[in-house]
Homo-oligomer: A and B are copies of this chain.
Amino acid sequence: MNAPSIPKGTRDFGPEVMVRRNYIFSKIRSVFERYGYQPIETPSMENIETLTGKYGDEGDQLLFKILNSRQYEARNKEELLDTYKKSLEGNINSKQLTERALRYDLTVPFARFVVMNRNEISFPFKRYQIQPVWRADKPQRGRYREFYQCDVDVVGSDSLLNEVELVQIFDDVLTALKIPVVVKINNRKILSGIAELAGVGERMMDMTIAIDKLDKIGIDGVTKELRDKGFSEEAILKIIPFFNDKSDSTTRLATMRTFLASSEIGMKGLEELQFVFDYVAKLGLSTAELEFDPTLARGLNYYTGAIFEVKVRDFQMGSICGGGRYDDLTGIFGLPNVSGVGISFGADRIYDVMLEMKLFPEGSAGTTNLLFANFGGDAELRSLELMKELRASGINCEIYPDDSKMKKQFKYADDKSIPYVAIIGEDEFKNGVVTIKNMKSGEQKSVAQHEIANAIA
């Protein structure tokens, strides 16, 4: 028999990792609910036509498609064979072969959900969704074929209070997790204004694609790319200074205001941005810093207003969160003019940051507070009775299921990061007490049996 294995790019999460992941998810979830967002879940598999054409050609290639079950039935093999032949020739959506695929992100299924449920939904609709997504990407360090996304969106409202609120949510979640961050914000309309005034309005996407690479290729690289793409020297001279501006957000905003004065769309973007800055300043952030970054472009086509990205301060890593406003996400499913804005937390990256920066609280590796060592007989029964009381008062506890050697039982507590062990040996049983051992300090003390909860509090 071959040793069992799991598919490339997927992961098992053992208890220690799970407890920490749940710590992250529960902080995220509770902040989302604090702001009035409610959970939804959509199916893991969607009809294939819901997903194809939404993520570009490359995205289509990365969908995990599910083989129709019925093809294994004995009917009409010739036709199936013909279908398969066609599918090999590139017609990848041949529905006789595959009608369903695993979701690629949470955004498209959410748009589909909104359209299907538009008559039951009370708008503005504030929802969050924490579920896995699947991509048939080449697995590599930090890139998985199955990973969780944590999305929070509001659709059906174009109020900028939503953008303000999402900045507060970044701040609350990342403060709760103790991760020091810069929340970068930009506005697609500002990028449009810059493109307009540089005389390259119709080539705004080319411009943003080049700008998006600034982190990787530097300002000279961006200049070269713009030149290679045929932008005029005059246009380049107008564009580049904004993306090479090292001053603070206030100064940047002022410079931008002068430059964009004659661009209606640019000024609109600036006004939206200013609103968010003003409100955030009035309300204050706990630990996050809000920064206007005109170089922030984000690849996704559907963004039309604010765009966000969150970076960990002084830490080498891509962004850990992102998002933005989209004016017509549900249009693809036949419901136009529903504006929305949302952000997404990257749980895997957050986990890696917290592990490296040692931000997980002590005791976050396990969930059991107390192990009763097992001495068998009457002491065992007494332990079971005590555990019943302790559990009723909210303490997670367990008994080693056999009266094995103490060494083995203590090792079990240690392996499972259980902080306390309760011992009811012959003496303790006789005297109605229990010895509590603190597994970290090694300290032992004898307490009355009804005092256990206090002793480990």
Interface of A with B (CB < 8 Å)? 1-7, 10-15, 18-19, 22, 33-36, 38-47, 49-50, 61-62, 64-67, 69, 71-72, 77, 80-81, 84-85, 87-88, 90, 92, 97-100, 102, 112-113, 115-117, 120-122, 124, 126-127, 132, 134, 136, 146, 154, 157, 159, 161-162, 164, 168, 172, 279, 282-284, 333-334, 366-368, 371, 380-381, 384-385, 388, 391, 394-402, 411-412, 415-416
Selected A-B contacts with CB under 8 Å, 18 pairs: A1-B334, A2-B49, A7-B99, A12-B40, A12-B113, A12-B116, A13-B39, A19-B38, A33-B367, A33-B368, A34-B397, A36-B368, A36-B396, A65-B66, A81-B81, A159-B402, A161-B384, A282-B385
**Distance in angstroms between the alpha carbons of A226 and B396 in the assembled complex:** 48
Nearest B-chain residue to A83, judged by Cβ: B84
Collect the chain B residues with CB atoms within 8 Å of residue A397's CB. 34, 36
Q: Which of B1, B87, B115 contacts A72 (CB 8 A)?
A: B87
Contact A44–B136 (Cβ < 8 Å) = no
Number of chain copies forming the complex = 2
Contacts A4-B115, A381-B282, A388-B283 given: A120-B14 contact, CB under 8 Å?
A: yes
Contact A12–B117 (Cβ < 8 Å) = yes
Collect the chain B residues with CB atoms within 8 Å of residue A3's CB. 115-116, 334
Collect the chain B residues with CB atoms within 8 Å of residue A279's CB. 381, 384
Q: Which of B19, B88, B172, B282 contacts A77 (CB 8 A)?
A: B88
Contact A7–B80 (Cβ < 8 Å) = no
Q: Which of B6, B283, B384 contacts A384 (CB 8 A)?
A: B283
